Structure formats: C-alpha cells, structure tokens
Amino acid sequence: MSDFFVAGSWRNRAAIVEVVQALDDAGASSYSFVRAEYDEGASDFARPGGADDADLHEPGIQRLFDQDLAALRDADQFVLVLPAGAAAHIEAGIAYGLGKHCWAVGPIDRSETLYRIFTAMTGDAASLVQHLERSRTLQ
C-alpha cells in the first residue's frame, strides 16, 4: 500500500524522479515504475522502449501489467507527471474510475476537457507538495 501512484513517461523520467523525491521528502510513500522492482521476465519490458514492439500475450508483459495495476489499486491517490504518454493517461482514467484523488504536475501543452478529473494541476513538484499540504491531503 502506498499513498501515491506516480505515473508518467520514460522520456520524462527526471521529472518523475523529482516528484517521487518530493513526496518522499514530505513523508509520503509512493509507487512508480522509475523505481519499481520487477521480476526478470517483466524487467525487460519495463525499460525505456522495452514493450514498444512486444507481443501483449508475453508472460512478462502480463506480470508487468498485473504488478503495476495492483500498485495502482493499492495506492490512495494518483499523480500524473506531464508530459506523459497514452499509457499514463490510461492509468489516470483507471485511478479516477477507482475513485482516487488525481493530481497532475508539469507543463500543459493544451487544454483537455478530461483533465477535469484532476483535483488540481500544478507546475512543478514543490507546488504539488504545497498544494497537497494546504488541502490536507498530505499530512
């Protein structure tokens, strides 16, 4: 169980690490693919571009999916680090559908009506933590 599930894109890894570290520094626990440990079969697919051309029926893909989805279900809240790809946006939709508070952090390229799922959107990790503290979501 973690306080936050942090999603994003490998190409935005530095910003994800920054958000995870800011949450750590604030005393919150988080799960993110940037530091998750996967078994040998799944870890090949968890690296940048590792699943791009993979057969979705590969056992390692299934284990990766199962682990990340279980972590998403077990987290209390969700953070999307922008810019992010389709998979991270799907995770945001799942989190919202599960009734979790959803937050976004990072630059917004364009307005999306479905970004209304986010309780708040902040520009950087420090602003996210400040917002969470003010809203008493982070104690």
pLDDT of residue 139: 61
CB atoms within 10 A of CB 10: 14
Structure tokens at 101: 């508070």
Residue ranges per structural domain of the chain: 4-34+75-134
101-105, strands of its sheet edge to edge: 30-32, 4-7, 77-81, 101-105, 120-122
Q: Which CATH superfamily is domain 4-34+75-134 in?
A: Glucose-6-phosphate isomerase like protein; domain 1 (3.40.50.10490)
pLDDT tens per residue across span 40-83: 888 877 888 878 888 888 888 899 999 999 999 999 999 999 99
Instruction: Give the predicted TM-score (pTM) of the model.
Output: 0.93
